[in-house]
């Protein structure tokens, strides 16, 4: 573990009502480390809400028997969040549509992955011990 790094870990059921407390805890830790205001009010809450809701709604298909695990490693340099579900995984690049095209602009869905990639410095998908993991990295802005 890097010096000064805090690790927050949550295991939540596939219920979107459980998202907010995880987001608030991670945001609180970033606030303690003086992350920039726009990162606290935009990048972290929106990208993390997207990642968890994607895991609940699509990865686990809201199956209450399945869980979502969130691990956030945060220090003064960066925040690294891993969100894992028990779904079959997906191709991050292929699934990221451009919601800004004229034909997609009035669609109700399809902005989640796009926003995660816009609001985080890095977004990648990995597989760990049979779980589908999305890893997001945000470098602290002073």
Residues near another protein, by CB under 8 A: 16-17, 19-20, 38, 41-42, 45-46, 49-50, 53, 57, 99-100, 105-112, 114-115, 118
DSSP assignments along 57-75, one per residue: IIISTT-TT-EEEEEEEE-
Question: With respect to another protein, which residue has the nearer C-beta, 119 or 133?
Answer: 119
- Burial (Cβ within 10 Å: 0-12, 13-18, ≥19) of residue 43: buried
Question: With respect to another protein, which residue has the nearer C-beta, 75 or 140?
Answer: 140
Alpha-carbon distances of 15 from 6, 55, 75, 122, 140, rounded to whole Å: 26, 10, 29, 26, 30
Shortest CB 80 distance to another protein, Å? 21
Shortest CB 134 distance to another protein, Å? 15
Shortest CB 12 distance to another protein, Å? 12
Question: With respect to another protein, which residue has the nearer C-beta, 91 or 109?
Answer: 109
Q: What tokens were used for 58?
A: 């699509």
3-state secondary structure of 16: helix
Question: With respect to another protein, which residue has the nearer C-beta, 7 or 34?
Answer: 34
């Amino acid at each position: 573990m890097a010096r000064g790094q805090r690790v927050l870990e949550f295991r939540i059921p596939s219920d979107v009502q459980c998202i907010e407390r995880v987001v608030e805890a991670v945001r609180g830790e970033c606030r303690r480390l003086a992350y920039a205001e726009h990162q606290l009010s935009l990048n972290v809450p929106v990208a993390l809400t997207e990642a968890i809701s994607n895991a609940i709604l699509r990865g686990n298909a809201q199956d209450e028997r399945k869980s979502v695990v969130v691990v956030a490693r945060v220090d003064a340099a960066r925040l690294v969040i891993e969100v894992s579900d028990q779904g079959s995984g997906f191709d991050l690049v292929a699934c990221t549509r451009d919601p800004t095209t004229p034909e997609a602009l009035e669609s109700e869905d399809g902005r989640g992955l796009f926003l995660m990639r816009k609001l985080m410095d890095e977004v990648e998908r990995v597989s760990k011990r049979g779980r589908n993991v999305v890893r997001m990295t945000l470098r602290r802005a002073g």
